[in-house]
Amino acid sequence: MDIRAEIAAERRELADVLGQLTEHQWNVPTLCNGWRVREVAAHMSMGFRYSFGRTALELARSGGNLHRMTDRVARRDAAVRMPHDLVTALRDNAHHPWKPPVGGPAAALGHDVIHGLDITVALGLGRQVPRDRLRIVLRTVKPSTLRFFRAHLDDVALRATDLEWSYGRGSSQVARPAQELLLLAYGRELPAVRADD
C-alpha cells in the first residue's frame, strides 16, 4: 500500500470536512484536551507552515517540551488564522512530505487520522476512516505510543470488533470498533468509550 497516497487522501478528505463547518463548529471542544476544532486544525497544518529551524526555535522557547510547544503554537495560530486559511493549508499540502520526528510516514498518517477523529467524533459527524488506513495506523500502537500520549491502558486488552486487531493482555477487555480503540491508544477518552468499561 502507498502510505503517501493514503496521507494525501486523508488530508484532502479532512479539508473537505473542515470546509463545510459552521463558525460555531470551529469553536466546539474536540477530543484533544483543551483544544477546539480551530486549535486542532492549526496544529495539523503546523508542519507545513513552519520550517525545521522555526520549529526548533519554538521548541527552545518552550524549554524543550514538545507538548508545551505544540499547545502554545496551536493556540497562537488558531487565534490569528481564519478557518479558510487552515482548510487551504491542509488541502494544498496533501502531498507534503512532513512526518513526526519518530515513526516515518505511518506516524504522519496516524497524526492526520487521530486529529481528524478528534474533530469528527467530537462533532458527531460519523466519519469512518477507511479500513486500510486504520490498519496502517493500528500498527503504530506500541508501549512507547501509549506512554507518549499518556494512555492509561496498563491492565487493558483492546480487541477490534470490525477487523482483525488486538493489543495488550490485560484482565479488562475493551471490545469496540477499531477507530474507537485507536483513540484510546492515543490517549483520548470518549464519553461512551472508557478503558474501565
pTM: predicted TM-score of the whole model, two decimal places: 0.92
pLDDT band at 73 (very low <50, low <70, confident <90, very high): very high
Q: What is the pLDDT of residue 191?
A: 58
Q: To the nearest 5 percent, what fractions of the chain are helix, strand and coil? A: 55, 10, 35
| Cβ within 8 Å of residue 180, ≥6 positions away | 190, 193
pLDDT band at 170 (very low <50, low <70, confident <90, very high): confident
| Averaged pLDDT for residues 141-157 | 88
